[in-house]
Structure 1
């Protein structure tokens, strides 16, 4: 099936798309990873939502937050690939698109993420550098990582 990428603000999401996004985030972050936390955190309305769709099926998603909203830097977060779509390098393409978006939209601002610790080598491949010790976030080891904006 044809893969369609979308980068939109909150108000540009259809109700159906928003439902699928929240469903996938809940399916992976809460159920699969057994982490109980409040996913709708009040930041989605100010976020840019990057997603990949095969028809009406959401296969990959992340949100991009502007500098000063969650962190001093812009952020990438809620990075997720649907279980049935894994193994197709969608995660790599998703992160590439998020980085490109944040650097273009908020030039001169670094990008910070709260990454699951086991994904450190994956994000290192995109030039993210570890910026904290490992800490517990909702029962999952995390660390902060930063990608420096080009000068």
Structure 2
């Protein structure tokens, strides 16, 4: 797997990368998952955004890293997406490892708390997250809160 990872803030995105990133999020969260909640929200401007490109330069994986004190007291990963053609090959795990390394470097010892879609608990568990809540509904989908220590 040869993925080029790059971090952005909203101010540092070039237009084409931002468009490809938001298109991937829209394709997964709005079209594939049929979620009608707003896809772009107030957590995007302060977040750092990780984008992964394949050898052809296509955006195939992405997420945002929300600083502590905004969504949760701790830093939080969110809007984790992997292009359907790139699933089941380790791309998602590589994405999470890259993001958690950045989170741990920026905010050592603070851990990471996420609101995960319930059916992805095993996926997040593979990188050290543990379920710490009962299931609840968020954006019309079942979620659980998960926690990972640094």
Instruction: Indicate the TM-score class for this superposition, using the shorter chain for normalisation.
Output: over 0.9
Aligned to 1:73: 74
The structure-2 alpha-carbon separation of the partners of 1:13 and 1:98, relative to structure 1 and needing over 3 Å to count, comes to same
Correspondence 1:1-151 to 2 at 5 A:
3-54=3-54, 55-149=56-150
Task: Report the TM-score when normalising by structure 1.
Answer: 0.93
Q: Distance in 2 between matches of 1:70 and 1:56?
A: 31
CA shift, 1:57, in A, is: 1.3
Query: Mind listing any 5+ residue stretches in structure 2 that lack a counterpart?
Result: none
Q: Distance in 2 between matches of 1:2 and 1:126?
A: 20
Q: Distance in 2 between matches of 1:119 and 1:43?
A: 21
Q: Distance in 2 between matches of 1:10 and 1:44?
A: 8
Q: Deviations over 1:15-58 (max 9, x none)?
A: 11111111111100111011111011022121111111124411
Instruction: List structure 1 segments (4+ residues) > 6 angstroms apart after TM superposition.
Output: none
CA shift, 1:148, in A, is: 1.4
Task: Report the TM-score when normalising by structure 2.
Answer: 0.93
* Aligned-residue CA RMSD (Å): 1.4
